[in-house]
Structure 1
Amino acid sequence: MVDENLLQYLEEYVTEKRRRTFKEVISNRTRHFTVVLENIFQSHNASAVVRSCDVFGIQDVHTIENSYINKVSRKIAKGSQKWLDFHRFKDENSNTKDCFNALKSKGYQIIATTPHNDSCYLSDFDITKKSAFVFGVEREGVSDFMLENADGYLKIPMVGFTESLNISVAAAIILQDVTTRLRKSDINWQLTEEEKNETYAKWIESSIKNLEKHKSFYYSKK
């Protein structure tokens, strides 16, 4: 729950232009789609996907860190990680399963991105359902668990000699396509008002230097 009085106080330390930009960007954020990075070991690839999530309005990124720690390169992500919500699964042996169950509990269908025989072509993908797109480690692809338990499979049509794309390129192509179609649809894809307020408040706080000092001063005057 956002403390509206505190928020109004903190807004005074953020320019009006920046506040307007926050609200405009938040109006285009969605949780209808989300991204899962499963055991990605090359930080530049993960960072590029994070950047694409910000560009195309995906608010949540889920990382499964079984063998590799997910690190975001500021140089590649261009600061985009600051505006996203990360959900990291890195502490147990069942990270993949735990992430899978967490997403299912939130109503997501799990879509493995893979050139699987039963994969749906991107242009035919049904955007009406909440979907979590899983991108796997560069060499092996998504895990056997994801392949066996996914609700569907998705692939990008390719007509050249090369049979696969770098995951950051694949993610950008997929997210651009599905979010463009989503915004043209009648689907209720935006964040709820509560989610918008929480995100806005978090962004305001992240923009203020010496935040705790300002908070302490605010509470001392109450």
Structure 2
Amino acid sequence: MDLGLLEHLQSYLTERRIERFESILKQRTRHFHVVTEDVYQLHNTSAVMRSCDVFGVQDLSIVEEINSKQIDKEIAMGSQKWVNLNRYNSISTCIEDLKTEGYQIVATSPHGKSVELHDFDVTKKSAFFFGKEKEGLSDVVLNNADVSLKIPMYGFTESLNISVSAAIVLQHVVTRLRKSDVDWQISEDEKNELRIEWAKNTIKSSAEIVERFYEDK
């Protein structure tokens, strides 16, 4: 990463904006990762991204083996600027990559022998998979999951909208994580990478500014 570029980009930002970035960076985590699998309602994926930003989860992976779409910026409310978005066209590749990065695979499912949300071990680095609105997660995810997780429900309805489920899960696990002894914050190098990306996403004509910076070096 180029710290000179970071300093240059920050010269275009107000002190208030820089202070805002620093405040939020202290709250960011990569201890948790969120994955959506072939969610065909655009507003649901966008709302999940918004929840990731709200609860400080930096990474969202979208698997689109069947359905392909763009994030709805109105529903994401600008969160696409602040959350790292990874796109996959293979659920198996996504699972393999996350396992390589040390994540346990968590299938969110109301069925089977699932761990209830309040009993979930938040100390383990975890990737939470959320499935299609009606069909749920694929057999590939269910068969490769290290653990299944369910939200306790006490009514006739046996499922929740995916974006609601994601918000409930993230609010619960992130709150408990922050009360734990886990070192959940991102590293200084990761913060610098985000400082650069966030500055680029904030500044108008940032691509031209970056190009001129390297031409003048």
For normalisation by structure 2, the TM-score amounts to: 0.97
User: What amino acid sits opposite 1:112 in the alignment?
Assistant: A
Superposed structure 1 runs of 4+ greater than 4 Å apart: none
What does residue 24 of structure 2 align with? 25
What does residue 150 of structure 1 align with? 145
Deviation at 1:116, TM superposition (A): 2.3
**Overall identity of the aligned pairs, in %:** 53
2:213 and 2:93 map into 1 onto residues whose CA distance is 40
1:32 and 1:54 map into 2 onto residues whose CA distance is 14
User: Is contact 1:31–1:58 with CA below 8 Å preserved after alignment?
Assistant: yes
1:123 is aligned to 2:96: no
1:167 and 1:180 map into 2 onto residues whose CA distance is 20
What does residue 108 of structure 1 align with? 103
User: What amino acid sits opposite 1:186 in the alignment?
Assistant: D
Deviation at 1:219, TM superposition (A): 3.1
Deviation at 1:71, TM superposition (A): 2.4
1:211 is aligned to 2:210: no
Query: C-alpha deviations, 1:110-155, integer Å up to 9, x for none?
Result: 0000012210000000001000000000111000111111000000
1:84-99 residue pairs with structure 2 within 5 A?
84-90=83-89, 95-99=90-94
Indicate the SS of the match to 1:30.
coil
1:46 and 1:200 map into 2 onto residues whose CA distance is 25
Structure 1: runs of 5 or more not aligned: none
Alignment length (residue pairs)? 217
User: What amino acid sits opposite 1:157 in the alignment?
Assistant: P
Aligned CA-pair RMSD: 1.0
User: Is contact 2:122–2:173 with CA below 8 Å preserved after alignment?
Assistant: yes
What does residue 77 of structure 2 align with? 78
For normalisation by structure 1, the TM-score amounts to: 0.95
Indicate which of 131, 137, 146 corresponds to 2:132. 137
Structure 2: runs of 5 or more not aligned: none
User: Is contact 1:45–1:167 with CA below 8 Å preserved after alignment?
Assistant: yes
2:215 and 2:133 map into 1 onto residues whose CA distance is 52
1:51 and 1:82 map into 2 onto residues whose CA distance is 10
1:96 and 1:177 map into 2 onto residues whose CA distance is 26
